[in-house]
Chain A
Amino acid sequence: MNEKKCEAILNKYNEEKGSIISILQDIQEGFGYIPEDVVFWFAEKLNIPASNFFGVTTFYAQFYLKPRGKHIITACCGTACHVKGAEPIINRMRADLGIAEGEDTTADGWFTLEKLACIGACSIAPVLIVNKKVYGGMSPDKASRMLKEYEKSSPR
Chain B
Amino acid sequence: MAEKKKAKPKTKTTTRSKTKPGPKAKGPDVEGLTIRVCVGTGGLAAGSQEVIDSFHTELKAHGLEAAVEKKCVNKTGCRGFCAKDVLVDVILDGSTSTYQRVRPEKISRIVEEHIINGRPVEEWLVGPDYHTFHDKQTKILLKQCGQIDPEDINAYIGIGGYEGAKKALSLTEFEVIEEVKKSGLRGRGGAGFLTGLKWEFCSMSRATPKYIICNADEGDPGAFMDRSIIEGNPHSVIEGMIIGGYAIGANTGYIYIRAEYPLAIERLKIAIDEATKKGFIGKDIFESGFDFEIRIKEGAGAFICGEETALIASIEGKRGMPRSKPPFPVNKGLRGKPTVINNVETLSNLPSIMTKGASWFSSIGSEQSKGTKVFALTGRIKNTGLIEVPMGISLKEIIYDIGGGMEKKNRKLKAVQTGGPSGGCIPASHINMPVDYESLMRIGSMMGSGGMVVMDDATCMVDMSKFFISFTQSESCGKCVPCRIGTKRMLEILTRITGGSGKESDIDLLIEIGTDIKLSSLCGLGQSAPNPVLSTINFFRKEYESHIKKGICPAGVCKALRQYVINAEACKMCGKCARVCPSSAVIWQPKQKAVINKSKCVKCGACFDACPFNSIM
Contacts and interface: CB of A to CB of B under 8 A. Distances in A.
Are A and B bound to each other? yes
Nearest to B576: A95
11 contacts: A59-B319, A80-B384, A91-B610, A92-B612, A118-B219, A118-B224, A122-B223, A123-B83, A124-B46, A124-B85, A134-B44
A21 B608 CA distance: 42
Contacts of B477: 59
Contacts of A55: 319
A61 B300 contact: yes
Q: Shortest 4 CB-CB distances between A and B: which pairs? A: A19-B317, A79-B222, A120-B224, A123-B82
B180 to A, nearest CB: 28
Interface string A44-64: 000000000001100111110
B560 to A, nearest CB: 13
Contacts of B219: 117-118
Interface of A: 18-22, 24-25, 55-56, 59-63, 77-80, 82-84, 87-89, 91-92, 94-95, 101, 116-125, 127, 132, 134-136, 140-141, 144
Nearest to B384: A123
Interface in B235-257: none
Interface stretch (B192-200, B374-382, B584-592): B374-382
Interface stretch (B90-98, B258-266, B357-365, B537-545): B258-266
Point out which of A60, A83, A89 has the most chain B C-beta atoms below 10 A from its C-beta: A83
A60 B300 contact: yes
Contacts of B315: 19
Given A79-B468, A80-B384, A122-B451, 8 more contacts: A56-B318, A62-B300, A79-B378, A84-B380, A95-B579, A117-B303, A119-B261, A123-B82
A23 to B, nearest CB: 8
B45 A121 contact: yes
Contacts of A132: 262
Contacts of B379: 79-80, 83-84
Contact of A88 (B41, B46, B298, B608): B608
B467 interface: yes
A88 B589 CA distance: 24
Contact of B378 (A21, A59, A125): A125
B614 to A, nearest CB: 9
B224 A122 contact: yes
A28 B582 CA distance: 35
A117 B223 CA distance: 11
Nearest to B300: A60
B405 interface: no
Contacts of A63: 300-301
